[in-house]
Every structure is written in C-alpha cells, then in structure tokens.
Amino acid sequence: MAEPDLIVVGGGSAGLACATRLAQAGLRVLLVEAGKSHKDLRVAVPALMSGIVQKPDFDWCYSAEPDPSVGGRPDVWPAGKRLGGGSAINGMMFIRGHQWDYDHWAELGAAGWDYASVLPYFRRMEHNERGADAWRGQGGPIHVSEVRSRYEITEEWIEAAQQAGIARSSDLNGEVSEGVDFIQLSQRQGLRCSTAHGYLRDKPANLEIMLEAKVLKVDVADGRANGVTVRQGGEIRTLSSRHGVVLSAGALNTPRLLMLSGVGPAAHLQEHGIPVVRGLPGVGQNLQEHPGCHLVNAVSAHTLNNEARGLAGFRQLLSFAFARSGALTTGIGHAQAFVSSRDGLSAPNLQLAFSAFAFEITPKGNLALAKDAAVSTFVALMRPNSRGSVSLRSADPAAPPKIEHRLLGDEDDAAQLVEGLEIARKIMGQPAIAPHVKAEIRPGAAAGSREALRGYVGAATIPMFHPVGTAKMGAADDPLAVVGPDCALRGVSGLWVADASIMPTIPQGNTNATAIMIGERASDLVLQAVRQPVA
C-alpha cells in the first residue's frame, strides 16, 4: 500500500470497527496491531475463554498496583493481545448499557452522544438473532445470539427473580434496559464473534493490517500527528499517513501511548524526561471499573459442572461439533437482571449475572470448574464512585502501564454491593429455585449480617475487566477532557481517539458493545473531518 490516508493504532473492539468502516468509505487505512491473528481455535470456541485469559500469548496480563480497599491485593487487569482485542478473550456478553448512560454523557459535555444519536450505530453494528425493530438491528457484522447452553435451573432463576419482584424484560438491549432476561452473546452459530471475526469476514481491499507491530509513539510535528513509530520484530520503523492517526489502543494503553508521545500531564511527562508536546492533565485520569463479587450455591439440579468430564464431556463435544450447541458454546453468563437496590435512582445500580456453573480455586491459584453441581450469581456495581488512574512506569515503551485503582475506594460502593448480595440471596430463596439449593458456598451461612457481608465484599470483590474513561470526552471548558465530542484530541490536529478510554462515565453492564459502537460512530466523525474542504 502507498502512504495510507489514516493509520489506526489498535485492532481491538473499537479499532477494527473504525478501521473497517473508514476503508469501506474509500480511504486507504493501515491498521497497526501489536498482537497476533485471531485465527486460533482457542479464540473461536467460547468455553475455552478461561484458558486464554491471563495467558501471555492472548493477554497482556497487566497487574494493577496493590489495592488497599481489597486487602492490598494487586489484581490482574487483562487486555486482549489478539486481533479483536478484548472481544477476542472476553465472556461474550452483549450488553448495550442503559439509555440514561448516553443521555448523561451528553449532559456532561459529550454533545451528539445521547441515546438517540448512538442508537443508529448500535443497530448498524449488529445482526440480532431476535430480529430487527426500532431498537435492534440486522445485517451488521457482529452477530448477537441466544444462549445455546441451556439449563432448566437458568429458567428457574429467571422465574425466581420475578417472584422476588423483578420485572421480566422482553429484551434488555431493547426499549427497556431493566428487569430480568436471558443473556445474549456475541456469537455466530455457536462460535465467538469478535470484531475480527465479524468485520473481517469481508475485508476491504484498501484496509492493510500489520500484526505483531508495537507502536512506540505517535509522531507529532508542528502540532499535527503525521504517523507512528513502530517496532516489528527487531526493526523500528516510522510510518506516515496523509490525514493523521486514530488511536484505539484501549483504556489502559491509549493513555500510555499518548504520554509516551508527549501528550499528557506536563509534570508527569517531565518526571520521565519526555518532551511535552501538549499538556493535557486529563490523560490517564478518570479510570473507572465495575467491581463485583460472587454468590455461589451448591445445587441438586443439573448444571454445566456435570458436563465437564467423562462421558458427559464427550457428549458435549459431539453436540458442539455437529450442532454448535451445548456446554462448549457457553459464555460467562446465562441470564441476568438489572435492578435498583434503592428508590429514586435514574437507572439500575446493580447487575446480577447468573451462570449455571461455578468455579473453584485450585491449589496453584488457577480457576477450574467445580467438581459438583453449583451455580453462581455475580453481583456487580454499575456506576461506582471510585476513580483511578493510568500513568507511566518509565519512558521505556516496553514498560507496562501503571494502573492505580481502588475497587472499593468509596464506602458507598461497598454498601451497594452488600445490597446486591442481599437481592441475590433473596432470589435464591424463592419457591422457583429454593428446592434445588443445597447450601451457600460463598459467602456462606456465617455471613448472615450486613457487617459480615461487608467483610466478604472487602475480601472477594474483583474487577470485571471493563476499564474505561482514561482519555475522556467532554466540552471545551472541561479541564480534564482529552477529546471533544468529535473524538479529536485537544490541541493536536490529525489525532483522534476511538475506544473505551473516551467514555466520560462507565455505562451499565458489560462494556464491549459500547466500545464497538464508539468505533462505529468515530469512523463517521473522522471521515467527516478528513473530507471537509480546506478553507
């Protein structure tokens, strides 16, 4: 390819969507991805996800700083290391967020990102198995499918949730994003549908993809981004582009690359000897994450745990091979509810994700399916108050980002998780499911009081791997805004950001669908900018 019109840095959830749409519009696009190809059986088979997260061949395996709010534990923060990014290694839960989330973004200064404005992009990106309507789309690259690993106890949990006072939703990605329903998954015919699997099924000829090429910095001259410096193998190269660079490296790497390029908090850059190209104090700030913890119950009913070994496991292998159904198609959850634990909230504050299986921790510290039948309810806080940051460890581009975040840095966040555990317990006590419940494994019967549950939350809360917000989008008078509503970086022309880092606040539910939507919308905004006639 001759000099491209644009270079897109990062072939993840948002980056692949953005790069493909720009190429489909006629631009010559070079996509630079640090990871390998997505073409690997372990990526394609949904149930193998537990074998690729925290594996260096698939995951950058970042470690956060010790978190005093959870006993000083240094949590692992995954980041996809394959084409497709997070969508290549995640649990495949397809959740759009709540209408309120996007209207709130607009109120905070992200004009044009209200729900009515982003809805067409959600519809454009998906091929929904339930069909198209005013809220859902068909014909898009991301296939959104029903759960193909069905267990009777999942339906009983949904019925029990209704008995506990939670309304049944016809579609949690549709008109009403509250209540209880089966989960939908980013899958096509029982296989993972990452952005690589989806958008590259019909790759435009003018989209060139460079794999295993790590961007060291964005090159800026006279206030304009004109290319990137990359390391591929043992060679360092400078790549130029006509119109500039779209940075889509994710909420952990986008701020790191900006700072390595001289864009960020001036004092921090000077501390590491990096010349300041543009002082922007918001780069790396505003880090947000969904915290959550598990309620685990031993049950007498049939669950996925019963199908993992022996003859039952062989039957599941056949079911997957010939019908693309069964346990090997499982995502991280089977049903979910979005609920409010308090009156007067604008949107649900809690997500309860039910899985007809449970894990246990092995002596080596790894996760393995529990040997006996069990179910899990993951209780997650949707709009935490706590904020963290991403910064540089050094000026060495090979150094991982420094992640500082307190999952329970705000006491009210912990209180809301306690309220969520109480709701989850209430559901498990309803007539539809209670006869199957043998015991509560975690937190256990001893955690009967709110004080005891608070202790459990402090020990057991983990990140959901949904980092956002570290290059936030906002109005011109917002001192921490890194990009405007047009995704253009403040003070550097020819440089846009299009990934989860631009989210002003974290949306409801799993964030992958929102990240893809950002890539879709950003492609139109970037295209509009590069095709504007020069005055």
**Catalytic residue IDs:** 466
Locus of tokens 């005013």: 134
In terms of Cα–Cα distance, which of 458, 525, 459 is closest to 497? 525
- SS3 (DSSP) at 89: coil
- Contacts for 339-347: CB closer than 8 Å, 24+ residues apart: 339/166, 339/178, 339/420, 339/423, 340/178, 341/416, 341/419, 341/420, 341/422, 341/423, 342/416, 342/419, 346/100, 346/104, 347/98, 347/99, 347/100, 347/101, 347/177, 347/178, 347/382, 347/383, 347/508
Query: Hey, CA dihedral for 146, 150, 155, 161, is it positive or negative?
Result: negative
Neighbours of 174 (CB within 10 A): 16
Helical packing angle, 99-107 and 115-125, nearest 10°: 130
CB 80 within 8 A of CB 37: no
Task: Assign residue 127 a region (left: φ > 0; alpha: ψ between -120 and 50; beta: otherwise).
Answer: beta
DSSP for 388-437, written as a single string: BEEE-S-S-TTSPPEEE--TT-SHHHHHHHHHHHHHHHHHHTSTTTGGGE
- SS3 (DSSP) at 335: strand
DSSP for 174-202, written as a single string: TT---EEEE-EEEEETTEE--HHHHHGGG
What Å distances lie between residue 4 and 205, 236, 268, 488, CA to CA? 13, 19, 33, 19
Cis check: omega of the bond before 443, within 30 degrees of 0: yes
Q: Where are the beta strands (DSSP E) in 331-388?
A: 335-339, 350-355, 359-361, 367-369, 374-381
CB 17 within 8 A of CB 520: yes
What Å distances lie between residue 143 and 128, 190, 488, 532, CA to CA? 6, 10, 30, 33
- For residue 242, how far is the Cα from the chain centroid? 31
Residue 254 and residue 317: Cα distance in Å, rounded?
A: 40
- For residue 323, how far is the Cα from the chain centroid? 29
Neighbours of 30 (CB within 10 A): 26
Residue 85 and residue 92: Cα distance in Å, rounded?
A: 12
